[in-house]
Structure 1
Amino acid sequence: MFEIAKQRLEPVFNHIDINEEVISRLSVPKRSIIANIPVRMDDGSLRVFTGYRVQYDDTRGPTKGGIRYHPKVNLDEVTSLSFWMTVKCAVAGLPFGGAKGGVTVNPKELSLLEVERLSRGYIRAFADVLGENRDVPAPDVYTNSTIMGWMADEYSVIARRQEPSIITGKPLHLNGSQGRECATGQGALFVLNEYARHRGWEVSQKTVAIQGFGNAGYHFARLAQTLGYRVVAVSDSQGAIYDPKGLNVKDVFRYKTENSELASVYCEGSVCNPLDYQTITNEELLTLDVDVLVLAAMENQITQLNADKIQAGTVLEIANGPVTPQADEVLESNGIAVIPDVLANSGGVTVSYFEWVQNKAGFYWEEKEVVEKLQKIMRREANLIFDLAQRYQCSLRTAAYIHGVERLAGAIDQRGNSKLFNSSK
């Protein structure tokens, strides 16, 4: 997976001249740490879980990246994600490098108390390499604000002082930020709206299908529907539902939360009434004839095996790495635009940056101010990337990587390179 991730850099070097030292620096992570985390289970037994933290590059500032709990977490995956975070923070213009962490575990098999012990154990295992000016974690797949609150609390116990800026994505009453919960979906919608403006779309005429109905997918769907987009399909890990007339996003999410399954419903008060809809598979959702296909689940969802079946006019990546490089080529040849993850899902890390700033300052903003600041950054960076794609006649992904790599290269070069030191002889 890491080798696939690095393939994203190859088209960049066809358009801009980058010093060889920059390429060398961005080809390998700065630091990779593996730790075994012992956890006392509710039945008294002891289990040992494997945890990871990869700090890819800190040239532009302390590293930043989420912690995920998933059975498939491994060093290769975490390294790839930390690479993407490095580029993403540069794309968004944030004073951060990239990192990522994770634990190989199925959290659905653990009790809440066991998840808490695991989360505190993760911080104990990695506390020596974390810090508000060193490496700042955040939530990711199957972690949330509650878990971040436990982790921040455990770090304060170890450090013997309150240091809320050590972790972002915390609950509001534990020094979290307004607007963080919906930031990833909100940021992605700001980017899509700019794309729609460039294309001259009438958004009320556009249909959207969303793979992944977790936090990011739900908030994107909710906000998009408010603006007039017609959300016709959503999915979770169990399957998908489809109604060409459109779904009631808030009601679908409420039903899923209460019943652990997807269904198209209309809710009034405490009563939810079923509506007509089709049950389809995740694979079928990917191939629906819609205007926008939103990928908000996991990596490698569109590959060279199914890329030719995609009918959407535009693909919006809210998940990290949901389209492989080989699939990118197929989609591009078929005239399908891909709004890349390093731009589209950077709203989450941007509001994490806001939380970090607020924690360090001890001064907190209202949600309206957070959203306004997020919109300003997402619109600015999206338009810069759209302009680069036009200038270089390249894909939006290549333009985004050009944008991020130029900022990384500037930071690396300005610390000194072979050209500088040879010129001083």
Structure 2
Amino acid sequence: MNAPLISQTWTDHVTGRRGFLVVDRLVRGVSSGGLRMREGCTLDEVAGLARGMTMKEALHYNPEGRYIPLGGAKGGIDCDPRDPGAYGILVRFLRAMRPYIESFWTTGEDLGLTQDLVDRAAAEAGLVSSVQAVYPLLDDEVAARRRLADAFAVEVDGIGLGELAGGCGVAESVLAALDRAGVAHEGTRVSVQGLGTMGGSTARFLARAGLKIVAVADVKGTIANPEGLDVEALLAARDAYGAVDRGVLRLADAELPGGDWLSVEAEVLIPAAVSYAVDATNQQRIGAAARWIVEAANMPVLPDAEALLAERGVSVLPDVVVNSATNAWWWWTLFGDIGADADEAFAYTRRSMRALVDQMLARAEADGTSPRAAAHAIVADRLPVIAERYGWYR
């Protein structure tokens, strides 16, 4: 595996907290990857995420589209986002990373941070935008920035389009897998870890497609109901970090320990919160009904756990495909493949994700490999094409 192009560790002079930036690759001189904030974040974690971003960009390469893939990068800050000093640390990190953000690192929200918060901190750090490095690649910067701002202002039933785009992609990945296996949408049971940006919007799309959300987990524990949860009520009762006010629960809704989202009987499990959520030990808790684990979070299933799950007939749909619509939606909108319209965004996302998931699963079947290995094989086919056309480091 090639070493990253840039690997930086920053130490906050006020608190001693550390932050990290890893640029895995540049394409046309620019890279793309969000900024996460969580207690315990490490340089190795950020490096793995940056490699994943290189793959996500390559997977969405469409020579007919206006959006041209960028390189992969990622930022991370070792701090609990609920810490009273977290915002100050974020501002100081962005100020320190300003030369990179101005030149070649486009970033945005990730685990622990919202886009609104990133935008506010970026402005305080003296940045024009967290994605300003891509502006020189746009045909009409003013129109593109207006289009993206308009898109972020769109809401659908109380949730912003920027939040819904990623969940739409995850949900379509689930539906594509069900369709390929000949499993009906109606009544298929789903357990979701995390009801934040990704998990919440995924739960909404799947519930509206007829699937039964039987469990969701947040920082307070797991909420479960074998007959299905009222997803919209839970979404309306979330705080900024995805924690649900238990006052909205119905009599039949049970409160369980946080780890019980794994053991609730469901055909589909969706880790949508933290990395490293499913390991070789706790995977044993996953029930016999499970057929798919769909990685809405980044790197939630450890490799040894994935191997053990495969022996049990549980297929893991990998993060580099499943959650890639979040990143792609930004660029589809900014480059002008889609406008600031929810219906257009959802239709484009569904078509793109359906084609990508179908290609991955067909490749896995043909090669006799896992979906993750198939996704990596597709990336390996596309990277030389992108490098030949655009170069890695220009």
| 351, 375, 396: which one aligns with 2:350 | 375
Change (3 A) 1:61 1:405: farther
**What SS is found at the alignment partner of 1:109?**
coil
1:324 paired to 2:299: no
Contact 1:116–1:150 (8 Å) recurs in 2: no
1:123 paired to 2:125: no
Greater displacement, 47-56 / 211-220: 47-56
Greater displacement, 328-337 / 304-313: 304-313
Letter in 1 for 2:381: E
| 347, 354, 357: which one aligns with 2:332 | 354
Contact 2:294–2:318 (8 Å) recurs in 1: yes
Q: CA RMSD in A?
A: 3.0
Residues of 2 paired with 1:173 and 1:392: CA distance?
Answer: 39
Greater displacement, 308-317 / 336-345: 308-317
Residues of 2 paired with 1:390 and 1:55: CA distance?
Answer: 33
Residues of 1 paired with 2:226 and 2:55: CA distance?
Answer: 37
Identify the residue that residue 277 of structure 2 maps to in structure 1: 301
1:283 paired to 2:259: yes
**What SS is found at the alignment partner of 1:279?**
strand
Deviations 1:322-359 (A, max 9, x none): 1111111111111111111111111111112124325x
Residues of 1 paired with 2:197 and 2:222: CA distance?
Answer: 16
Deviations 1:168-221 (A, max 9, x none): 9x9999566452111221100111111121111211120111111111101111
Identify the residue that residue 78 of structure 2 maps to in structure 1: 104
1:141 paired to 2:116: no
| 353, 359, 366: which one aligns with 1:384 | 359
Greater displacement, 405-414 / 320-329: 405-414
Deviations 1:290-311 (A, max 9, x none): 1111111111222111223322
**What SS is found at the alignment partner of 2:163?**
coil
Name which one, 1 or 2, has greater alpha-carbon Rg: 1
Identify the residue that residue 7 of structure 1 maps to in structure 2: none
Residues of 1 paired with 2:322 and 2:60: CA distance?
Answer: 10
| 52, 58, 63: which one aligns with 1:84 | 52
Structure 1 unaligned regions, length at least 5: 1-25, 39-45, 266-271, 417-425
Q: How does 1:145-156 map to 2 (within 5 A)?
A: 145-154=115-124
**What SS is found at the alignment partner of 1:68?**
strand
Residues of 1 paired with 2:45 and 2:373: CA distance?
Answer: 22
**What SS is found at the alignment partner of 1:274?**
coil
Residues of 2 paired with 1:251 and 1:343: CA distance?
Answer: 29
**What SS is found at the alignment partner of 2:108?**
strand
Greater displacement, 272-281 / 244-253: 272-281
Residues of 2 paired with 1:408 and 1:151: CA distance?
Answer: 34
| Deviation at residue 414 of structure 1 after TM alignment | 6.9
1:51 paired to 2:19: yes
Change (3 A) 1:255 1:167: farther
Letter in 1 for 2:39: P
| Deviation at residue 389 of structure 1 after TM alignment | 1.2
Contact 1:164–1:175 (8 Å) recurs in 2: no
Letter in 1 for 2:3: V
Change (3 A) 1:175 1:365: closer
Identify the residue that residue 423 of structure 1 maps to in structure 2: none
Contact 2:198–2:272 (8 Å) recurs in 1: yes
Residues of 1 paired with 2:194 and 2:241: CA distance?
Answer: 17
Residues of 1 paired with 2:230 and 2:190: CA distance?
Answer: 13
Greater displacement, 349-358 / 78-87: 349-358
1:405 paired to 2:380: yes
Deviations 1:32-61 (A, max 9, x none): 1122334xxxxxxx4343221110112476
Residues of 2 paired with 1:254 and 1:69: CA distance?
Answer: 24
Letter in 2 for 1:295: P
What is the aligned residue count? 367
Deviations 1:15-43 (A, max 9, x none): xxxxxxxxxxx4311101122334xxxxx
Change (3 A) 1:100 1:258: closer
Structure 2 unaligned regions, length at least 5: 62-67, 135-144, 155-160
Residues of 2 paired with 1:215 and 1:396: CA distance?
Answer: 25
TM-score for both structures, normalised by structure 1: 0.78
Identify the residue that residue 95 of structure 1 maps to in structure 2: 69
Change (3 A) 1:166 1:37: farther
| Deviation at residue 84 of structure 1 after TM alignment | 1.4
Residues of 2 paired with 1:106 and 1:163: CA distance?
Answer: 24
| Deviation at residue 278 of structure 1 after TM alignment | 2.0
Identify the residue that residue 166 of structure 1 maps to in structure 2: 132
Contact 2:361–2:371 (8 Å) recurs in 1: yes
Contact 1:165–1:355 (8 Å) recurs in 2: no
Letter in 1 for 2:45: E
Residues of 1 paired with 2:390 and 2:241: CA distance?
Answer: 55
List structure 1 segments (4+ residues) > 6 angstroms apart after TM superposition: 170-173, 413-416
TM-score for both structures, normalised by structure 2: 0.84
Residues of 1 paired with 2:146 and 2:231: CA distance?
Answer: 24
Taking only the aligned residue pairs, the percentage that are identical comes to: 24
